[in-house]
Amino acid sequence: MKLIRGYPEYMRESIEMVEKTRERRLKEVYRRLSADEKEELLRKYHPDYRPEGKRPIKIGPNKGDYAPHEVVDLLEAHPLINPDEIDLSQIDYDVDILIIGGGGAGTVAALWANYEGIPAENILIATKLRHGDANSIMAQGGIQAADRPEDSPYWHYLDVIGGGHFANKPELVKILVTDALLIMKWHEELGVMYDKDDNGEFIERPGGGTCRNRLHSAKDYTGLEIFRVIRDEARNRDIPVLEFSPAVELIKDENGNIAGAVLYNMETRQYYVVRAKATILATGGFGRLHIQGFPTTNHYGATADGIVIAYRAGAKLRDMDATQYHPTGAAYPEQIVGLLITEKVRGMGAQLVNKYGEQFIYPLEPRDVESAAIIRECYELNNGVITPTGMRGVWLDSPMIEIIHGEGAIQKNLAAMYRMFKRFGIDMTQDPILVFPTLHYMNGGVEINEYAQTTVPGLFAAGEVTGGVHGKNRLMGNSLLDYNVFGRRAGIYAAKRVKRGVTVGKLTLQHVYDYEKMLSEAGIVTDRKSPILLPDYRGKAVLARQIDLVL
Amino acid sequence: MGKSKAALKEVEKPKMEMVTIYIMGKAYKVPAGLTIMKAMEYAGYRFIRGAGCRAGFCGACATIYRFKDDYKLYMALACQTPVEDGMYLTQIPFVPANKAKYDINKVSPTASSIIRYYPEITRCVSCNTCTKACPQELNVMDYIQASLRGDIETAAKLSFDCIQCGLCAARCPAEIAHYHVAQLVRRLYAKYYLKPSKNLEKRLKEIQEGKYEEMLNKLMKMSKEELKKLYESREIEKVGVSE
């Protein structure tokens, strides 16, 4: 297929229409939807509202609650390990605090536990891939904190709870918006290279659903920049990290406290027993489950392992029926379908337009509303552009940014986006880019309180694996904030628990046997096993002839 | 307009064109147009190492390749690079490199302190191999040279888009771990060259003094209807940058 500057000829015809309307649209502000209009749009077009996409959970603390089939499948599955084969009398790692997950929340928790007085050698971060293979480093657009005089934690609170459809846990929202300031101060002191003006004030932009310009960024590598600094700090402080060793089951003690975990070394295929006085779950979300078949922005390991093992240990979940589809995933070219196009592109003025170059939604509505509007435009009104592989999408008119902010604004502020499209022959400073919603974030998760405690004693949790902070829909810039705020709290309160002096009783996996019993009593007959640890993208032809021989 | 509309509905069906790639020397036929990462999966590889974010941000999938009869060695990220016919490739999923330990509060932002932690940067022979190795196309040699001169601002800005894949360190004849040097330099720049925000300082103090306590507690107790009303009547700040 012949491509002209990255696009086939028929797509170029639509681009010409986008160019024709651009000058007029620069002055045109699409009206914001009323609350009722938003609700109707969501009900009709948002994937969460499709009844065929979910079912009630049959067993456990959330029995009767709805969740996507892909999640319920993992909850209604047998454990990956056979507990009979695990020897709990031989402890491989005996620590004060076990942190499961080496992304943002886990690393922040480790640092603050260490600041709180737990020696580094008594902390262990166990993680599935490398230290930092997490969605935390992929966040592009920014982090919210209400520091400008025009802003206040009051407005931040209202934005968060309105964006979350008033389903958030209020005490967690209050902490999110107030602790935000001390997190930003901490980052300044650590040396996170935020975009600032000459006086040291942060350059702040709007995000979808924010009523004030509140997005602090570091170009469009915000997540990467924050994480590589905190990881550097963890390395300076000698925090031990065990890579390629995910937790496959939590361990309890005879008193019902969480007392560590069984880890699985994916390279040597052996298990390790970790005993801990406090355990912090920081395993992130579920993008790689490809809910309702959507592509995802998430990293390779986002398979909801933490949800599975916490649920088996009796932890309560919440809001698992709410999935975030980021409105602007790449829809073309095929090689990058589903990858994130940061909301900052819209924050800087790029509009969403259909194949005729016309706007159909205000560009900075909350994410779920934007996604629903794009789905309607493509599948109900047939105003989307169809790609050579049959995907549909709408245009994100990126050249507007250069007109509004001046030539070079994209390379300066959106270097990662520019680079990604350039690698595939598309110059987003000259041509619009094609987008469609992509699976982005697990809005719900393990329920926590102000102290990052779950409903099971001894188990703390922070970051995307938790639910309640964002209600039914998270706003841009609040996940980086979330993992810092609650990662810090998890570290501090886990340390306090240790310092109070907890004695760990005899270790047990009885809850795993009990869960098996629940499965059979509920009549669930399946050969599924969980957690799944990694998605499987191998070619069908290969899998058809695959045999497992023991070498 | 009508004609264009009709034209837009025309969609070409792609043909499954195949190319041959050599994964660590072994030939596999894979569909053209796939990224190296997806092509390896198509061929039957299931990654444990060598795949991370799959979006060009993490550096887990650093890959080197050559073509037959071409002396040149190419570097790429497997997740961001389409396969080409005749690629001989291997991944470099890990690069051993020493990271210095420091207390950032006690490091002065000067050339001499960078050299104290990373003395090997003085061995740089300006061969530019690091720059050629960088899949992000950064001017790696230039930021090492800037670090040597104590030009911390330039070094921090030139290295900012680094994803720490380590290919520079793997290729350097002077055995420099460039990306670790850059990490130190950026932290020094942000901490000692960028001024602290006065707005932040002020707001933090207000919060610690409990200025918003009552206001937020009131919001927390409100019914959904009351909150909804407040939410709907928020005044929205003008779209644009506030600087």
Query: What is the rounded CA–CA span in Å between residue A119 and residue A98?
Result: 13
Residue with tokens 């170029």: A12
- Smallest CA–CA separation between B68 and chain A, in Å? 23
Inter-chain residue contact B204 with A152, CB threshold 8 Å: no
Radius of gyration of chain B (CA): 26
- Closest residue in chain A to residue B236, using alpha carbons only: A211
Which chain A residues are Cβ-neighbours of B17 within 8 angstroms? none
Condensed to tens digits (0 to 9), the pLDDT of residues A337-377 reads 999 999 999 999 999 999 999 999 999 999 999 999 999 99
Listed residue (A136, A147, A230, A145) closest to A187, CA to CA: A230
- Smallest CA–CA separation between B167 and chain A, in Å? 17
Which CATH number is correct for B16-91, 3.40.50.150, 3.30.470.10, 3.90.550.10, 3.10.20.30?
A: 3.10.20.30
- Closest residue in chain A to residue B36, using alpha carbons only: A335
- Smallest CA–CA separation between A67 and chain B, in Å? 24
Residue with tokens 């007085």: A117
Residue B88 at interface with chain A, using a CB cutoff of 8 Å: no
- Closest residue in chain B to residue A157, using alpha carbons only: B216
Say whether A489 is catalytic.
no
pLDDT given at position A548 = 85
- Closest residue in chain B to residue A413, using alpha carbons only: B161
Q: Which of A346, A367, A376, A511 is catalytic?
A: A346
The answer to whether the CB of A120 falls within 8 A of the CB of A491 is: no
pLDDT given at position B15 = 60
Which chain A residues are Cβ-neighbours of B240 within 8 angstroms? 205-206, 213, 349
Q: Residue B238's CB: how many other CB atoms inside 10 A?
A: 7
Which chain A residues are Cβ-neighbours of B230 within 8 angstroms? 158
Cα–Cα distances (Å) from A333 to A357, B135, B229, in that order, read 20, 20, 43
- Per domain, the residue ranges of chain B are 16-91, 104-193
Radius of gyration of chain A (CA): 23
> Which three-class secondary structure state does DSSP give residue A9?
helix
Residue B46 at interface with chain A, using a CB cutoff of 8 Å: yes
**Strand A352-353 vs strand A385-386: parallel, antiparallel, or unpaired?**
unpaired
Residue from B57, B84, B161 whose CB has the most chain A CBs within 10 Å, to mutate: B57
| Residue among B52, B160, B190 minimizing CB distance to A133 | B52
Tell me whether residue B113 is exposed, middle or buried, using C-beta atoms within 10 angstroms of its C-beta: 0 to 12, 13 to 18, 19 or more. middle
Query: What is the rounded CA–CA span in Å between residue A86 and residue A247?
Result: 13
Inter-chain residue contact A539 with B42, CB threshold 8 Å: yes
Peptide bond connecting B196 to the previous residue in cis, omega within 30 degrees of 0: no
The class level of CATH for B104-193 reads: mainly alpha
Listed residue (A217, A338, A287) closest to A71, CA to CA: A287
E-only strand ranges, A40-92: 54-56, 66-68, 78-79
Listed residue (A352, A383, A361) closest to A30, CA to CA: A361
B164: left (phi over 0), alpha (psi -120 to 50) or beta: left
Inter-chain residue contact B199 with A202, CB threshold 8 Å: yes
Residue B207 at interface with chain A, using a CB cutoff of 8 Å: yes
Residue from B200, B221, B230, B231 whose CB has the most chain A CBs within 10 Å, to mutate: B200
| Residue among B58, B137, B237 minimizing CB distance to A132 | B58
Interface of B with A in 12-31 (CB under 8 A): 12, 14
- Smallest CA–CA separation between A183 and chain B, in Å? 10
| Residue among B51, B56, B103 minimizing CB distance to A420 | B56
- Closest residue in chain A to residue B207, using alpha carbons only: A178
Which chain A residues are Cβ-neighbours of B242 within 8 angstroms? 148, 150, 203-205, 213
Inter-chain residue contact B197 with A196, CB threshold 8 Å: yes
The answer to whether the CB of B28 falls within 8 A of the CB of A105 is: no
The share of chain A scoring above pLDDT 90, in percent, equals 98
Write the ipTM.
0.95
Bridge partners of residue B31, in order along the sequence: B18
Say whether A346 is catalytic.
yes
Inter-chain residue contact B160 with A542, CB threshold 8 Å: no
- Which domains can be identified in chain A, with CATH numbers? 3-49+327-439 (3.90.700.10), 79-322+443-508 (3.50.50.60)
Condensed to tens digits (0 to 9), the pLDDT of residues A486-507 reads 999 999 999 999 999 999 999 9
DSSP letters spanning B77-101:
EGGG-B--TTEEEEE----------
The answer to whether the CB of A321 falls within 8 A of the CB of A65 is: yes
E-only strand ranges, A93-174: 93-100, 123-126, 143-144
Which chain B residues are Cβ-neighbours of A132 within 8 angstroms? 58
Residue from A137, A296, A403 whose CB has the most chain B CBs within 10 Å, to mutate: A137
Listed residue (A114, A115, A134, A136) closest to A124, CA to CA: A114
DSSP letters spanning A342-378:
-THHHHTTPPEE-TTS-B-S-TTS-HHHHHHHHHIII
Q: What are phi and psi of A296, to 5 degrees?
A: -135, 155
Long-range pairs of A34-41 with CB within 8 A, sequence gap ≥ 24 = A34/B232, A35/B228, A35/B232, A38/A365, A38/A366, A38/A369, A41/A369, A41/A372, A41/A373, A41/A376
Query: What is the rounded CA–CA span in Å between residue A337 and residue A492?
Result: 40
Q: Which parts of chain A sit beneath pLDDT 70?
A: none
E-only strand ranges, B7-127: 18-23, 26-31, 62-67, 74-77, 87-91
| Residue among A148, A390, A419 minimizing CB distance to B199 | A148
What angle (nearest 5°) sits at the alpha carbon of residue A344, between those of residues A342 and A348? Answer: 140
Inter-chain residue contact A212 with B38, CB threshold 8 Å: no
Q: Which of A156, A187, A288, A326 is catalytic?
A: A326
- Smallest CA–CA separation between A190 and chain B, in Å? 7
| Residue among B46, B54, B82 minimizing CB distance to A538 | B46
Residue B34 at interface with chain A, using a CB cutoff of 8 Å: yes
- Closest residue in chain A to residue B82, using alpha carbons only: A335
Interface of B with A in 104-133 (CB under 8 A): 104-105
Q: What is the pLDDT along chain B (243 residues), one digit of tens a residue?
A: 334 444 444 444 456 799 999 999 999 999 998 999 999 999 999 999 999 999 999 999 999 999 999 999 999 999 999 999 999 999 999 999 999 999 999 999 999 999 999 999 999 999 999 999 999 999 999 999 999 999 999 999 999 999 999 999 999 999 999 999 999 999 999 999 999 999 999 999 999 999 999 999 999 999 999 999 999 999 988 765 443
pLDDT given at position B242 = 40
- Smallest CA–CA separation between B225 and chain A, in Å? 9
| Residue among A232, A267, A339 minimizing CB distance to B187 | A232
| Residue among A13, A177, A537 minimizing CB distance to B7 | A13
